[in-house]
């Protein structure tokens, strides 16, 4: 059974049924929700990055270099990583999917900013995205940093567990996240991208009340794990 571990903000570890080790949006240094560092992850097979902002990408290259993991992100981020000396990259883009050894992954639209952290040349920018992981028995959607999109209606019936930002100010807030749930109709929603900075402080119990019976709200504390079934 696949397992999902939350490291705060939007950073997750995902262990699939075949024990593939995945990190999504790695941000450890300066992440106030965790004391973990790249050195705490000796084995990682894939690093997935929804976009290039530092709070989702700052530790992607160090982690991939250390472990030999394959970096999966947009074409632009993959090319930037290659310029930085990373050999194992898998470029994707919005709407595309690929059958990895552990399952099929589709890159979904998101509406946000395109800066690539670490690009001192200023040449690289990209569009943000999300990832829909189709694992054995469970479909997991990491929305990334995004505003509410009507395109989310296309995910109706395709998601079991949705990781949705609720922080507001930079992404969807609680009200728009509830609308997103109405579009997607997952079984479970895990709120992400909140309580990291004063600008995105939120009350998860208030969010739970707003969601009502639309989905089961699973609030994960940093370091907690849930089984995906």
Name residues whose C-beta falls within 8 Å of residue 127's C-beta, 6 or more positions apart in sequence.
51, 74, 93, 94, 110, 114
Neighbour-count burial of 206, counting CB atoms closer than 10 A to its CB (0-12 exposed, 13-18 middle, 19+ buried)? exposed
Name the residue among 94, 90, 33 with its Cα closest to residue 60: 90
Dump pLDDT digits (tens) for 40-82.
999 999 999 999 999 999 999 999 999 999 999 999 999 999 9
Torsions phi, psi for 178 (to 5 deg):
-65, -40
- The answer to whether 46 touches 69, Cβ cutoff 8 Å, is yes
Dump pLDDT digits (tens) for 145-200.
999 999 999 999 999 999 999 999 999 999 999 999 999 999 999 999 999 999 99
User: Is the model's pTM score more than 0.95?
Assistant: yes
Q: Average pLDDT for residues 129-154, to the nearest whole number?
A: 96
User: Residue 143's pLDDT is what?
Assistant: 98
User: Fold for domain 2-219?
Assistant: Metallo-beta-lactamase; Chain A (3.60.15)
Q: Is the pLDDT of residue 1 over 90?
A: no
Q: Is the pLDDT of residue 119 over 90?
A: no
Collect contacts of 198-201 with beta carbons under 8 A, ≥24 apart: 199/167, 199/169, 199/170, 200/167, 200/168, 200/169, 200/170, 200/171, 201/167
Percentage of the chain beyond pLDDT 90 is 95
How many other C-beta atoms are found inside a 10 Å radius of the C-beta of residue 60? 27
Q: How far is CA 161 from CA 64, 68, 75, 149, in A?
A: 26, 28, 26, 18
Domain boundaries, the chain: 2-219
Q: Average pLDDT for residues 81-87, to the nearest whole number?
A: 96
- Please report how many Cα atoms fall inside a 13 Å half-sphere around the Cα of residue 32, on the Cβ side: 6
Beta-bridge partners for 104: 99, 134
User: Residue 124's pLDDT is what?
Assistant: 86
């Amino acid at each position: 059974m696949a397992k999902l571990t939350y490291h705060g903000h939007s950073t997750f570890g995902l262990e699939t049924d075949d024990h593939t080790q995945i990190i999504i949006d790695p941000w450890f240094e300066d992440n106030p929700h965790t004391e973990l560092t790249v050195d705490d992850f000796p084995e990682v097979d894939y690093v997935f990055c929804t976009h290039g902002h530092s709070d989702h990408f700052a530790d992607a290259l160090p982690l991939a270099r250390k472990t030999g993991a394959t970096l999966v992100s947009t074409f632009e981020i993959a090319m930037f990583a290659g310029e930085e000396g990373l050999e194992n990259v898998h470029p994707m883009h919005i709407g595309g999917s690929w059958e990895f050894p552990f399952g099929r992954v589709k890159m979904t639209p998101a509406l946000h900013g395109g800066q690539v952290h670490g690009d001192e040349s200023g040449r690289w920018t990209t569009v943000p995205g999300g990832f829909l992981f189709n694992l054995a028995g469970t479909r997991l959607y990491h929305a990334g940093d995004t505003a509410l999109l009507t395109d989310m209606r296309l995910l109706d019936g395709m998601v079991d567990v949705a990781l949705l930002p609720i922080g507001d100010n930079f992404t969807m807030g609680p009200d728009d996240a509830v609308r997103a749930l109405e579009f997607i109709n997952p079984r479970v929603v895990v709120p992400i991208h909140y309580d990291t900075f004063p600008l995105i402080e939120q009350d998860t119990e208030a969010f739970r009340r707003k969601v009502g019976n639309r989905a089961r709200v699973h609030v994960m504390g940093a370091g907690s794990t849930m089984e995906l079934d």
